């Protein structure tokens, strides 16, 4: 888990939270968060637990994407994944792997990804996604956009993810989702990995406003331990699937 941080530059406020599965160390968390306030790009990725080198793949995707100026259309994003996958697999070629790691590496790595670029001056945003990590746009405490999944019941255990070996997984290109939207003063965006996205959408669907407000106050506060305990309680109550958690909150203030 990383500490929720508050950073402010111009008109964007950020908060972020990473927390591993129960019984796992922070170093074993395979969700990743990155942002670049120079171009207002924000991204999260969720490395597939079963995949080879999933943590590095998730880290590499978000860290590289926020530094780019392209990779916002489906075709460009696929080229970006292909390029990054070659870099990742090249890093493996230096390794002397046991037979079982070799077998895993042969299939490549996989991660869910969602990234957003916000143009504050133009009052617009553009997002690109592959997999089940989600972007939720809130305006006046209402969900006005949710992608690529918009309902809690639509999550499943076999999402199509961003592959490091695009040659073996070419059909994944068809699952890329891109979307644009408008922006108003006070809009909030949440980038969420799948388990916490499903949880958030469900409590919104149920209009469990007490729970929502409790989460919002903890997420916006400075007590990281209480926020961790809150999610642990949700896991224990089986309202939240026991999976890595990544939340990146973005609040836009337009002057």
Partner 1 sequence: MYSAQITRSNPTCIVLLLDQSGSMSDPFSGDTASKKSDFVAEVVNHTLHDLVIRCTKTEEVRNYYYVAVIGYGRVVGPAFRGPLASRNLVSISDVADYPLQVKNSYKRVADGAGGWVEIPIRYPVWINPLADGKTPMCEALTLVKNILENWVAEHPQGFPPTVLHLTDGESSDGDPDYVGRQIMALKTGDGPVLLFNCHITSLRRDKIEYPSDETVLSDGFARTLFQISSHLPENFLAAAAQLGVRARPGSRGFVFNADPSSIVQFYEIGTSLTGMTPYRWMDDRTESA
Residue showing tokens 């989600």 = 134
Written in H, E and C, the secondary structure of 50-77 is CCCCHHHHHHHHHHHHCCCCCCCCHHHH
Site string for partner 1, 91-110 (x = CB under 8 A): ----x-xxxxxxxx-x----
Note whether 213 binds partner 1 by CB under 8 A: no
Residue 126, classed as helix, strand or coil, is: strand
Dig out the tokens for 128 from the structure.
Answer: 């690109």
Indicate which single residue of 53, 59, 132, 187 sits in contact with partner 1 (rule: CB under 8 A): 53
Based on CB atoms, which residue is closest to partner 1, 16 or 109?
109
| Minimum gap (Å) between residue 97 Cβ and partner 1 | 7
- What CA–CA distance (Å, rounded) separates 228 from 162? 28
19 DSSP 8-state letter: E
Site residue total, partner 1 (CB under 8 A):
21
Residues 165-194 interacting with partner 1 (rule: CB under 8 A): 166-168, 170
Based on CB atoms, which residue is closest to partner 1, 100 or 225?
100
Closest C-alpha among 73, 162, 175 to residue 126: 73
| Minimum gap (Å) between residue 86 Cβ and partner 1 | 13
Residue 30, classed as helix, strand or coil, is: coil
Indicate which single residue of 79, 224, 242, 251 sits in contact with partner 1 (rule: CB under 8 A): 242
Is 30 within 8 Å of 194 (Cβ atoms)?
A: no
| Minimum gap (Å) between residue 223 Cβ and partner 1 | 28
Which residues contact partner 1 by CB under 8 A? 23, 49-50, 52-54, 95, 97-104, 106, 166-168, 170, 242
């Amino acid at each position: 888990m990383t500490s929720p941080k508050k950073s402010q530059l111009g008109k964007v406020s950020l908060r972020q939270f990473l927390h591993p599965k129960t019984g796992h160390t922070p170093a074993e968390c395979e969700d990743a968060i990155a942002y670049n306030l120079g171009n207002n790009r924000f991204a999260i990725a969720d490395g597939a637990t079963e995949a080879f080198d999933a943590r590095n793949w998730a880290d590499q995707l978000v860290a590289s994407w926020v530094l780019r100026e392209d990779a916002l259309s489906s075709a460009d994003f696929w080229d970006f994944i292909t390029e990054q996958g070659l870099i990742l697999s090249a890093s493996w070629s230096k390794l002397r792997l046991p037979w079982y790691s070799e077998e895993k590496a042969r299939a490549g790595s996989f991660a869910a990804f969602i990234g957003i670029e916000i143009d504050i001056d133009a009052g617009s945003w553009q997002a690109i996604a592959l997999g089940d990590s989600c972007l939720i746009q809130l305006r006046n405490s209402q969900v006005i956009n949710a992608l690529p999944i918009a309902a809690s019941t639509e999550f499943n255990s076999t999402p199509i993810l961003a592959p490091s070996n695009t040659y073996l997984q070419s059909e994944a290109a068809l699952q890329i989702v891109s979307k644009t939207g408008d922006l108003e003063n006070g809009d909030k965006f949440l980038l969420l990995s799948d388990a916490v996205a499903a949880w958030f959408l469900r409590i919104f669907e149920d209009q469990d406003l007490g729970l929502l407000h409790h989460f919002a106050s903890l997420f916006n506060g400075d007590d990281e331990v209480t926020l961790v305990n809150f999610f642990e309680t949700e896991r224990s109550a089986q309202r939240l699937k026991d999976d890595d958690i990544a939340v990146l909150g973005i609040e836009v203030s337009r002057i």
